[in-house]
Amino acid sequence: MTPPTLDVRRSPYFLIALTVLVADQGSKALASAMLRGHDTVVVVPGFFNLVYSRNRGGLFGYFSGMADPWRTILLTVFPLLAVGLIAWFLGRGSETDRPTLLGLGLILGGAAGNLIDRVFRGSVVDFLDVYIAPSRIAGWFIDQFGTAHWPTFNIADSGIVVGACLLLLTIFRRDE
């Protein structure tokens, strides 16, 4: 049995991954240049700020307290393998469902963007700060989740989350 060959009809999904990667790295360069060393920039009062931060951990800062070399292995080597597997699956896998391929493209671009940060900066640049100012809604969020403040994130994180949601939607859609 011959392995599947690269399907050029999948190139738009690699272009999506590249777009997420370029937007992520460009926005992080801007955030580093314009926000580092400055206070919070309020964009939408009570909801959205720009604030420069560095995340040495993984998603939501998990593993940031882990000692090296284990943190480096966990947050660099495994994501490198994941990027390779996603790229392979996106280029040569048998999946043809567009939302699935779009989700993989978004995840690939986001994972590559954060991986580049870890390799070249030693941590991931985050700068998007979403929260809910004190209100009834904020009280509900605090009761349910312990906070009304989402962890600071970046465009790569957004690509990963939107891509994962697309994959979950396709799984649930198939089950129906």
From 117, 126, 129, 175, active-site residue? 126
Give the DSSP letter string of 81-112: HHHHHHHHHHHH-S---HHHHHHHHHHHHHHH
Domain ranges (residues) in the chain: 9-175
pLDDT digits (tens, 9 = 90+) for 103-129: 999 999 999 999 999 999 988 999 999
SS3 166: helix
Question: Is 157 part of the annotated catalytic residue set?
Answer: yes
pLDDT of 151 > 90? The answer is: no
Does position 160 have pLDDT exceeding 60, yes or no?
yes
Mean pLDDT, residues 16-43 taken together: 96
Task: Examine the residue annotation and report whether 7 is marked as an active-site residue of this protein.
Answer: no
Residue 44 has pLDDT above 80, yes or no: yes
Rounded to an integer, the average pLDDT of 57-62 is: 67
Share of the chain above pLDDT 90, in %: 53
